Amino acid sequence: MTRSKSVTRATFDDVMVPVYAPAPFVPVRAEGSRVWDSEDREYIDLAGGIAVTALGHGHPDVIAALTEQAARLCHISNVYTNQPALRLARRLTDATFAERVFFANSGAEANEAALKLARKVATDRHGLSTDKVDIVSFNQSFHGRTLFTVSVGGQPDYAEGFGPLPGGITHIPFNDLDAAASTIGPRTCAVIVEPVQGEGGVRPANPAFLRTLRHLCDQHDALLIFDEVQTGVGRSGSLYAYMEYGVTPDILTTAKSLGNGFPIAAMLTTEPLARHFSPGTHGSTYGGNPLAAAVADKVLERVTTRGVLNGVRERADHCLAALRAINGRYGIFKELRGMGLLIGAELSEPYAGRAKDFVAAALEQRVMLLNAGTNVLRLTPSLIVPFADLDEGFRRFELAVDTIVAAGVPRRKGEAVV
Ligand SMILES: Cc1ncc(COP(=O)(O)O)c(C=O)c1O
């Protein structure tokens, strides 16, 4: 068999399992919030690798942490502990409600650990034959792609075809106090919620809703799990969004920005809950790997500085002002929402369902952004994106908007021509 040495976007279709539909170019290098493709075209990155590159691309401190640790000790396994993981766990517990940390490699795995811990707590407390096993989750939520987390997520399409699915999971409407009050009860072992639903359309929880979930969990001896995979590590303007809300969970999961591009995730919890896991009950070969932990420790050190967190609010205001101005000229948005630098722009009726068209048109103008479902554009830039890059990014985005608006609104099936 002959194999070509050069790879292009077309190679993807030849060699990859087709679970993604990547853009028609291949990024090859990046710096800060600018990315270059294999043809040396330059893009402004307002997507941040889907809320991952919180400190931008190629941050010198992150590179230094990575290369120093790579030369020292990359991997040793959890048969031994290691200094970077211990330092990172100390930093996470010092900075949050948590007293104990479990490291994993992805958001899905951190959530898997959280859900397993919740079931284990319930069976330890109530016996193996307990019916206190129900997990309450919310419509449109997203918690990952393992079979358990995709079943817990509130987007049934993602779980279709993979049955039989794990049982004992109930989905109810997000931000619905009555549904929560009538569903969370003695059989509930855990409630899992994103403080701001990310993939599901950038929908912030109402503060009263999270307070009510906390109250109902306390009332029914259920654990409250905050999935902060997308909202965490400074994106909300606080280190974690629970701090913005003033509602403390029993378990919190974090990933994405924690590694700024190096895979690492963590499940944070309290000491009494952590005690329900013992050696052998859960684990991961790579979890808490020294290389990943050294990077994450540096990322957290940088993100937790006041300058970075205050900068998130300033940049968020700047983005919202730019989007409002574009909307004033084109009327393409129905609502702007989100928290900090997790920003959603819901398209107005004539453009409903066309979020991917806007993302593609933006790429044509060399600016990277995301959709969240079919109706919402999503921005998750670096937390330290330069203001000049934001301005240039929105200038290019407006050109993209202009091409879509100038092309007119395509007629929907069955619509009369007037
Ligand atoms: C809120 C939330 N939870 C979990 C996940 C899954 O994380 P990962 O893709 O790292 O498994 C995501 C990913 O988008 C997410 O946004």
Q: Which two tokens stand for residue 177?
A: 């106090």
Residue that is last in its domain, among 303, 323, 350 = 303
For residue 147, the domain's CATH number is: 3.40.640.10
Q: Is the CB of 194 under 6 A from ligand 1?
A: yes
| Ligand 1 contact via 255 beta carbon (within 6 Å) | yes
316 part of a folded domain: yes
231 domain-assigned: yes
How far, in Å, from the CA of 18 to the mean position of ligand 1? 19
Do 72 and 136 share a domain, yes or no?
A: yes
Helix (H, G, I), strand (E, B) or coil at 372: coil
Domain-embedded: residue 102: yes
| Same-domain check for residues 330 and 318 | yes
- Check: CB of residue 100 under 8 Å from CB of residue 274: yes
Is residue 135 assigned to a domain? yes
Find out whether the beta carbon of 112 lies less than 6 Å from any atom of ligand 1.
Answer: no
Q: d(Cα 260, Cα 9) in Å, to the nearest integer?
A: 25
229 lines ligand 1 (CB under 6 A): yes
86 shares its domain with 212: yes
CATH, residue 321: 3.90.1150.10
Question: Do 203 and 109 fall within a single domain?
Answer: yes
With a 6 Å cutoff on the Cβ, whether 183 touches ligand 1 is no
Domain of 215 in residue numbering reads as: 60-303
The number of angstroms, rounded, from the C-alpha of 309 to the middle of its chain's C-alpha atoms is 18
Q: How many domains does the chain have?
A: 2
Single-letter residue type at 266: A
pLDDT score at 162: 98
| DSSP symbols for 160-218 | TTSPSPPSSEEEE-TT-HHHHHHH-STTEEEEEE-SEESTTT-EEPPHHHHHHHHHHHH
Identify whether 3 is part of a domain.
Answer: no
pLDDT tens by residue, the chain, 418 residues = 455 579 999 999 999 999 999 999 999 999 999 999 999 999 999 999 999 999 999 999 999 999 999 999 999 999 999 999 999 999 999 999 999 999 999 999 999 999 999 999 999 999 999 999 999 999 999 999 999 999 999 999 999 999 999 999 999 999 999 999 999 999 999 999 999 999 999 999 999 999 999 999 999 999 999 999 999 999 999 999 999 999 999 999 999 999 999 999 999 999 999 999 999 999 999 999 999 999 999 999 999 998 999 999 999 999 999 999 999 999 999 999 999 999 999 999 999 999 999 999 999 999 999 999 999 999 999 999 999 999 999 999 999 999 999 998 765 555 554 4
Do 249 and 136 have their domain in common? yes
Is there a single domain that holds both residue 69 and residue 176?
Answer: yes
Asked whether residue 328 falls in the same domain as residue 280, the answer is no
Pocket probe for ligand 1: among 138, 143, 228, the residue whose CB has the most ligand atoms within 8 Å is 143
Query: Ligand 1 center to residue 244 CA distance, Å?
Result: 20
Exposed/middle/buried for residue 410 (C-beta within 10 Å: 0-12, 13-18, 19+): exposed
Residue ending a domain, among 303, 333, 357, is 303
Q: What is this structure's pTM?
A: 0.96
Nearest to 24 by CA among 38, 9, 36, 14: 9
Those residues whose C-beta lies under 8 Å from the C-beta of residue 358, and which sit 6 or more positions away, are 332, 347, 351, 369, 371, 377, 400, 401, 404
User: Which residues in 210-275 belong to E strands, given as ranges?
Assistant: 223-227, 251-254, 265-269
Residue 106 Cβ contacting ligand 1 at under 6 Å: yes
Phi and psi for 12 in degrees, rounded to 5? -50, -45
Q: Beta 27-31 vs 203-204: how paired, if at all? A: unpaired
Tell me if 253 sits within 8 A of 228, measured CB to CB.
yes
Domain check: are 377 and 291 in the same one? no
Report d(CA 314, CA 317) in Å as an integer: 5
Q: Are residues 310 and 348 in the same domain?
A: yes
Q: Is residue 365 part of a domain?
A: yes
Residue 179: which residues within 8 A CB-CB, separation 6 or more? 172, 173
Query: For ligand 1, what atom is nearest to the CA of residue 194?
Result: 1
- Do 341 and 399 lie in one domain? The reply is yes
Q: Could you tell me if 296 and 319 lie in one domain?
A: no
Measured in Å, residue 142 CA sits from the centre of ligand 1 at: 7
**Residues 54 and 64 placed together within one structural domain of the fold:** no
Cα 149 from Cα 388, distance rounded (Å): 39
Note whether residue 73 is domain-resident: yes
Q: Is 175 inside a domain boundary?
A: yes
